Amino acid sequence: SDHEDDLAMSEKKAEEGNRPTTYHYPSIGADLKDVGKGYHTWNPYHTIFYGSIISVLVVVLSVFYRSTEIAEIWNLVVELIAKESNHKDFWVILTVIVASFAALIMTITIYLMSRATSVYLVDFTTYQPPDHLKFPHDLFIRNSRATGWFSEESIAFQEKLVYRTGLGNETYMPPGILASPPDLSMARAREEAEMVFTAVLDQLFATTGVKPKEIDILIVNCSLFNPTPSMSAMIINKYKMRSDVRNYNLSGMGCSAGVISVDLAKDLLQVHKNCNALVFSTENITQNWYAGADKARLVSNTLFRLGGAAILLSNKWSMGWRSKYTLTCTVRVHKGATDGAYKAVWQSEDEQRVVGVALTKDLMTVAGDALKTNLTILGPIVLPWSEQIKFFMNYMQRRMESYTGKEKRTPAYLPDFKKAFQHFCIHAGGRAIIDGLEDALKLTQEQVEPSRATLYRYGNTSSSSIWYELAFIERCNRIKKGEKVMQIALGSGFKCNSAVWKRIRN
C-alpha cells in the first residue's frame, strides 16, 4: 500500500542518517492577493492620525525653533489680533484656524475610538496527567493485541509506526482506553473531559487569582467529542459560572482549533469591553480509538495522546501589568474549497463500518500549500521592511519571467521569519510536520526543540500542543521581555492558523 511504501522509504532514509523527506513545501510564487490581505490589516485611521500629528509637529518645530522665540511670536500674534480685529478678513482667518484645530481633534478622537483593544494573555496552564496513565510503546502493543480487535498485520504496522513517529515512552492515554477490556463508552469520554478541564482550570484560577464568576466569555474547542449538553455547559455547571456568561463550543475544527478559539476571543474582546475570556483547548481520545484494519486510519492511534490547556485572556487595563503576553495578530487560512484539501483528514467508516480518522498520502502537500498562504498573509504584518522589499522584488521578477516565457526561472524567495520572531511553537502533529517547517522556515534546532520535546513527551495532543510548547520555552527561561512568539497549527478542513504574541515582562 501507499502507507507501507512511505514507511519503507522512511526506514531507508533513517538508515542513511537522513530525515524522511515526506513534507512538500510548494515552490510556486505567492499569490499577490494573499500579500494584499496582509497589508489590509493596517488600519487606515493610523495613516490619518500619524499624518496629522507629524504635519503639526513639523510646523511647530520649524516655527518655534528656539524657546526664546515662542514668547516673541506670541506677542506678535496678540498685537496682530488687537490691531486687525476690525479687518474685514479677520473672522474668516480665525474661522479657518479654529476649524483646522477642530479637525485635528476630531481625527485624534476617531483614531482613539477605532484602534483595536489590547488583548492580554494573563496566564495559561497545560494538563499534566498522573503517572498511572502513562502509555509506553510496549504497553501500546500489548494492549492492542489483548483487545482482539486487530490482526497481526495491523499490530505489526502500528508497532513499526509508533517507534518512528517521534513519540517517547512517557505519553498518556485516558482511563477508558487503558481499561481491560477498553471501555470506549460515553460515560468514560465524559470522565476524560472532566478530568482534564478540572485539573487545568483549578490550576489556572489558583495561579491568576481570578474566580470562575469573573469569567465573561467561555470558549471550548474539542473536535471529536460533542456531547449534549456541550463541554462548555459542563464547565459552567462544574464551576457555577454566571448565567450571563457568553459561551461557545467549537467542534470538528481539528488540530488548529486552539488558534481559532484565540481568534474568536480576540474578536469578542473588541466588542465587549472590560471582560475576561477563558479558552479551554483539548481533544477527547476515548471514543476515537480506531479498532479497524485500514492503515490510513491506524496512523492516528500511534500519534494522538491525552492532553489539554486552559488560557485566560483579558482586555482589562488592570490586567495588563500582570499579564505575560499581548496578542499582536492572528491569521487564519482555510483551503476547504479544493477537494484534496477538504478530504486530507477525513472521519468516516471503513469497509467494516468502523469509524476512524483517515490521514491521506497527500496530507503533507496540502499542509505545505496552506502554510505558504498563511505565511504570505502574515509576512506584511510582521516582517521588517528589509525582508518585505526582498520578497516583493523577487515576486515581481518571477512574474516578469513568467510573462516572457523564460525557461530557467528565479526560485521563490522565502522571507527570513527569524527576523520577526525569536520563538516558534509549531504544532506537534508528527515528526514529518516539524521537519518540514524546520526546513521551510530555515529554523535552528534550538528553535524547533519545543515542538520536538512536546511531541516526544506528550505526543500529538491536537489543538493544545502549541501551549505545551510555549510552556517548554518558559520553563527553559528562553523568552525575554519584548520578544515575540509565533504559534502555528495545521488542522482538518484544511486549515493553517497562526497567532503572534509579544512578551510583556520577564
C-beta of residue 394 within 8 angstroms of C-beta of residue 457: no
- How confident is the model at residue 389, as a pLDDT? 87
Stretch 103-126: mean pLDDT: 78
- Tens-place pLDDT, residues 350-392: 989 999 999 888 888 899 899 989 988 888 888 888 888 888 8
- The continuous run of DSSP H or E covering 258 comes out as helix 257-271
Find residue 120's DSSP bridge partners.
314, 326
Angle subtended at Cα 383 by Cα 379 and Cα 384, rounded to the nearest 5 degrees:
150
217/250 Cα distance (integer angstroms)? 14
Has residue 54 got a pLDDT over 70? no
Q: Is 0.85 surpassed by the pTM of this model?
A: no
387/366 Cα distance (integer angstroms)? 26
- Residues assigned a catalytic role: 255, 334, 423, 427, 460
Has residue 39 got a pLDDT over 70? no
Q: How many helices (H) and strands (E) does the chain have?
A: 19, 11
More confident residue, 232 or 62: 232
* Cell 491536537, located at residue: 462
Residue 241: CA count within 13 A, CB half-sphere: 23
DSSP per-residue codes, 179-219: SSS----HHHHHHHHHHHHHHHHHHHHHHH---GGG--EEE
Has residue 418 got a pLDDT over 80? yes
Q: What is the mean pLDDT of the chain?
A: 84
- Tens-place pLDDT, residues 156-208: 999 999 998 899 999 999 999 999 899 999 999 999 999 999 999 999 999 99
Stretch 269-274: mean pLDDT: 93
DSSP single-letter state for residue 51: H
